[in-house]
Amino acid sequence: MYTRVYKSWGDKMPTRKIHNLVNKLVLGNDYDWLNRLIDYPSRWLGPRHRVLFHDEKHDPLVTFLLTRDPGAALAHYLHIKLDKDRELREKLLLLALLMG
């Protein structure tokens, strides 16, 4: 069962649940509010929503400046990297499956 999920998941964009799980594993906090905000424009733009809030060089810095929370900035960066990097998605899913 896990093998099937693992093979198919690398091809798809992570859901908010997956983003939250990765944040919880890596940062100790799911930062659900942030993941909702980052992907909110997808309601109108669909996959093109990544033109907003998905700049890995500047957007995490803006998040830090607004929240003063380094964890939120890292969660923002992880969100962007998970969306863009298939290999990272696969490795983090495997880690999540191994950890429970």
The better pLDDT of the pair 43, 37 is held by 37
Range of weakest confidence among 33-37, 75-79, 93-97: 93-97
Could you report the per-residue pLDDT of 8-36, keeping only the tens digit for each?
555 577 889 889 988 998 899 999 999 99
Q: Identify the CA nearest to 76 among candidates 43, 33, 45.
A: 33
CA-based max dimension of the chain: 42
Domain ranges of the chain: 2-99
Looking at residue 6, what is its pLDDT?
A: 47
The pLDDT mean for the chain works out to: 82
CA–CA distance, 26 with 21 (Å, rounded to integer): 9
Could you report the per-residue pLDDT of 43-68, keeping only the tens digit for each?
787 777 776 767 788 888 888 988 99
Per DSSP, the residues of 24-64 read HHHHSS--HHHHHHHHTTHHHHGGGGGGSS--TTTHHHHHH
Q: Span 72-88, mean pLDDT?
A: 92
